[in-house]
Structures are given as C-alpha cells and as structure tokens.
Amino acid sequence: MPSLSEAYSDKRGDSDGRDPRRVALGAGLSLSGAGALVAALLVVTTPLAAVFGLRDPLAAKHLAGVLAGLGGPAILLGVVAVLPSKRRQQLGVVAGAAISTAGVWLFSYAYPTHWITSSDPLVFETAIVYFLGGFVALWFVFVALANFRRRNSPHGRVTLEIEKEGETRRVEVSQSEFRRYKSMVSDGGSTEEFLTEIDERRGE
C-alpha cells in the first residue's frame, strides 16, 4: 500500500507538476511566434526584404504572409505549453495549429498565381482552412485558461492526482477536504480510508 503522500499530489499553483523544460519551450514558441509577426510587418513596411534578397514586392508579401501565418499558431502552442493544461486541450491546440499550418502551405502555393486576380483563385479555401484551425486552437486555449483560473481561485476546488494500481487519475475536492487530506499526509496516515472515500464519491 503506498503512503498517502505518494497517492496524492496537490495540483495547485506552481506545484502542478509542470516540466520546467516544457514551460521554457512554450515561452520560446510564444516569443518566436511574436517575432515572426513583427518580422512579417517589417518585411512589407521597411527595406528588410532586401536583407533576404527579395527585390520583388510580391515575393516580400509572400514571405510576410508565411511568417504571419506561422506566428499565430506558434503563440497559441506556446500558451498551452506554459499553462497547466490537460492532454486533451494540448492535443486540441496542436490539431488547430496543424490545420492553420496547412492553410499557410495553401497560401504559399496559391500566392500570387492563384490569388485574387487569378481565374481560379484559392483565397476563400485558404482563409477557411487557416481560420478554422485558428478557431480550434483558440477554443482549446480559452478552455485551458478557464480551467487554470478556476483551479487557482481562492474559493475554488483543488485537483488531486491519484495513483492506484498503476492507474493515474485526477479528482477535484473542496478546500476543506484538501486540508483534511493534507493533514493526514503530514501525519503519515494510511491511504486506504481516503481512497475508499474517493471511490465512493465517484460511484465506483
């Protein structure tokens, strides 16, 4: 039988078990995305395009579109990596970012030969794919933010991670219940009573 401290781990605040490397990666992604957006703006408004050997204005706009298109999803990926989000939310943002990246690829293919003035433009298709991915990613980021705010509310609930028989699951308890469990941890109590109580609450 594991000790109570092994069975329960508090998932509030900074004790949420996040890997510092993942947090650093998320911050790097967000900064890279923001940098790409700034670079996209500078490419079309300053002589920066010449640094990349782009003398044609259309080529500069093409590069700016690709940079801006990739910058948005990168920022969202960075946000969800930094937040203590659930795997479902992380996968949702990754899926949305992948769809948006497909939209960027479609833009790269279509611009400028299949753009607005073309006989067979792909503007609508490109916009639909890109913004669909952006909507999906942004939705899951909002869900992760809402969950993060709720978990850190002083009057909210506490998420406990339970390891039992090789299976890991999360259970939300009230502040008073958490304090009682935490008191048992400090006293070196047995886990059986509280594991049984949690199972009964979940109807198992």
Q: Are residues 139 and 161 in the same domain?
A: no
Question: 44-53, 77-86, 127-136: which has the minimum mean pLDDT?
Answer: 44-53
Q: Are residues 124 and 36 in the same domain?
A: yes
**φ/ψ (deg, to 5) at 62:** -60, -45
Q: Are residues 160 and 144 in the same domain?
A: no
Q: Are residues 93 and 188 in the same domain?
A: no
Question: Span 138-156, mean pLDDT?
Answer: 75
The DSSP bridge partners found for residue 163 are 168
> Using CA atoms, how far apart are residues 34 and 156, in angstroms rounded to an integer?
33
What pLDDT score was predicted for residue 6?
Answer: 45
> Using CA atoms, how far apart are residues 113 and 55, in angstroms rounded to an integer?
18
According to DSSP, residue 170 is labeled E
Q: Are residues 164 and 112 in the same domain?
A: no
Question: Span 2-16, mean pLDDT?
Answer: 45
Q: Are residues 180 and 143 in the same domain?
A: no
Q: Are residues 93 and 181 in the same domain?
A: no
Q: Are residues 185 and 167 in the same domain?
A: yes
> Using CA atoms, how far apart are residues 10 and 8, in angstroms rounded to an integer?
7
Q: How many domains does the chain have?
A: 2
Residues 100 and 133: beta-carbon distance below 8 Å: yes
The per-residue pLDDT for range 89-114, each reduced to its tens digit, is 889 999 999 999 999 999 999 998 88
**44 pLDDT more than 90:** no
Q: Are residues 109 and 126 in the same domain?
A: yes
Mean pLDDT for all residues in the chain: 79
Q: Are residues 130 and 160 in the same domain?
A: no
Domain that holds residue 197: 4-11+156-201
> Using CA atoms, how far apart are residues 86 and 178, in angstroms rounded to an integer?
21
Q: Are residues 164 and 147 in the same domain?
A: no
pLDDT over 90 for what percent of the chain?
38
Sequence-separated (6 or more) residues with CB below 8 Å from residue 31: 78
